[in-house]
Structure 1
């Protein structure tokens, strides 16, 4: 049954993504983080106190999410097996973001194809943190490619990985870590100390999934008849340049496979920020690179789901 739930959750996300009319666990997690940060900052007058308060929030939320999910699913299964299975499948699907990621990127792609740079900037601004008002078409394309590639790890592979080894409760706990990092894990003045635990934990839990992602992307690149050798070479050379120990792996692989250069100058709240470049600039980035990157992500996720289902079935048979 675990294999059915696993593949069912994947297919459900591909089919409907995250409908806005239905409640999403991440929204609830975000509300808890916001309120928890506000309360804990009142008793955190020093940098050391902020680090402790951030650790308390991080550990409490992750542990709380896991235990709530585990106890909730257990109660539902005892009430009715099929009710428990349906809830399990639905909540696991909410940890995956393949359709949402692809749809957002392809919306940018379609605007660029129509020559509507204003709407393309607005659309890409919905999924990236950088300033987008003055971006050129090539810079909009780069932003979309970078976010699709980087989010393959935390939006697809990592939740599926933790769902495969620990079920939906562990996948939801991972999502709590990821949400914490996206809200407080910044190295800015406000969150440098308070978000340290969240940022470090996010790096740790994504370490193995990011390396798995490398293998999956290489498989997708090979299946797409792209330059697998160049992708691997660029990954070895450039992935460590990324500020994240994990995000540089998928970005560098995509850059190498497509023969483009990612990274460079971005603006955040009007301030220039230079991120080390990855890949060789053999040509300019085009909107079509967005479409190709989405295809690589879909292929990589499909390969992972297929392999994971085989492992789940084998473990079940042996067990």
Structure 2
């Protein structure tokens, strides 16, 4: 019941208040740690860069683990408050919805600016169709990274699972680039993130089945571009019936996405999130969740 209580309070926090203040957000702390170590490591050789990047990822992982264990050493009610705070910080239902909803505008420049806030690609030269696509892609991909995956690891390993996953996912977003600076320094974080997301990404696809049926499975077969990230994007493309394309990386078939399709995607997002929260809630209530034995 303690784990169930923490989960319910964290979910209510997310719905009512959204994200914690930036300065106090554990995800920001993970990012600052990674940035500190990254900025002070002068690139040397492929092997040394890989070892330095691996150490950076392990330090972030250890930091997340220490944070997640702090509630065990605090008296009531501080232990509950901190546990709820850390669990809430590992997932983001409301803020993801809010960020993507800002892209659902017919003002092309406002849309371009809003999309630039949620994707890493250069939006300055994208046409309206690709801007709409980028917004929907970000929603689909982050549904896995920011909702399904952290709660999946919470079910398995409790608060340590959720926070450690979030730390690795944050480092992948910061360091996991295929360029000269990060090809080897960010490789360990990127590959570990791939491993951790393998099952959650496929769970996310299955959650789309009630909305898209066989079309989701057909698009899933086309998702051979990435290990994980293109799978939820393919499923969203199937449900909406629109093409979703990251230039030079992947393209899933359909008609051109419009602003209205961003709004439709947000409704699909709420349905899928509702399904997943129910799937998390049920084993916690029944007392059959692995994390209850930890």
1:40-59 to structure 2, matched below 5 A, reads 41-42=41-42, 45-59=44-58
- Say which one has the larger Rg: 1
Q: Is the 8 A contact 2:194 2:228 kept in 1?
A: yes
Alignment match, 1:207: 198
Alignment match, 2:238: 256
In structure 2, C-alpha distance between the alignment counterparts of 1:264 and 1:31, rounded to whole Å: 28
Q: Say yes or no: does 1:234 pair with 2:219.
A: yes
Question: What is the TM-score normalised by the length of structure 2?
Answer: 0.93
In structure 2, C-alpha distance between the alignment counterparts of 1:124 and 1:213, rounded to whole Å: 23
Q: Is the 8 A contact 1:10 1:96 kept in 2?
A: no
Please state how far the C-alpha of 1:301 moved relative to its aligned partner: 1.7
Give a deviation string over 1:115-156, Cα, whole Å, max 9, x none: x11111011100011111232222211110010011111111
Q: Say yes or no: does 1:245 pair with 2:227.
A: yes
Alignment match, 1:217: 208
Counterpart of 1:302 (choices 248, 270, 274) is 274
Matched residue of 1:108: which SS? coil
Q: Say yes or no: does 1:30 pair with 2:31.
A: yes
Structure 1 gap segments, 5+ residues each: 222-226, 266-273
1:9-20 to structure 2, matched below 5 A, reads 9-20=10-21
Question: What is the TM-score normalised by the length of structure 1?
Answer: 0.86
Alignment match, 2:133: 142
CA RMSD of aligned residues (A): 1.8
Give a deviation string over 1:278-297, Cα, whole Å, max 9, x none: 1x22x221111111212222
Please state how far the C-alpha of 1:14 moved relative to its aligned partner: 2.2
Counterpart of 2:71 (choices 64, 70, 73) is 73
Counterpart of 2:159 (choices 143, 159, 168) is 168
Q: 1:2 to 1:277 in 2, by over 3 A?
A: same
Aligned residues: 290
Q: Is the 8 A contact 1:149 1:251 kept in 2?
A: yes
Alignment match, 2:9: 8
In structure 1, C-alpha distance between the alignment counterparts of 2:261 and 2:127, rounded to whole Å: 15
In structure 2, C-alpha distance between the alignment counterparts of 1:239 and 1:16, rounded to whole Å: 36
Structure 2 gap segments, 5+ residues each: none
Matched residue of 2:158: which SS? helix
In structure 2, C-alpha distance between the alignment counterparts of 1:245 and 1:15, rounded to whole Å: 34
In structure 2, C-alpha distance between the alignment counterparts of 1:135 and 1:144, rounded to whole Å: 12
Q: Say yes or no: does 1:84 pair with 2:68.
A: no
TM superposition outliers: structure 1 runs of 4+ over 4 Å: 316-319
Q: 1:209 to 1:177 in 2, by over 3 A?
A: same
Q: 1:173 to 1:205 in 2, by over 3 A?
A: same
In structure 2, C-alpha distance between the alignment counterparts of 1:73 and 1:132, rounded to whole Å: 42
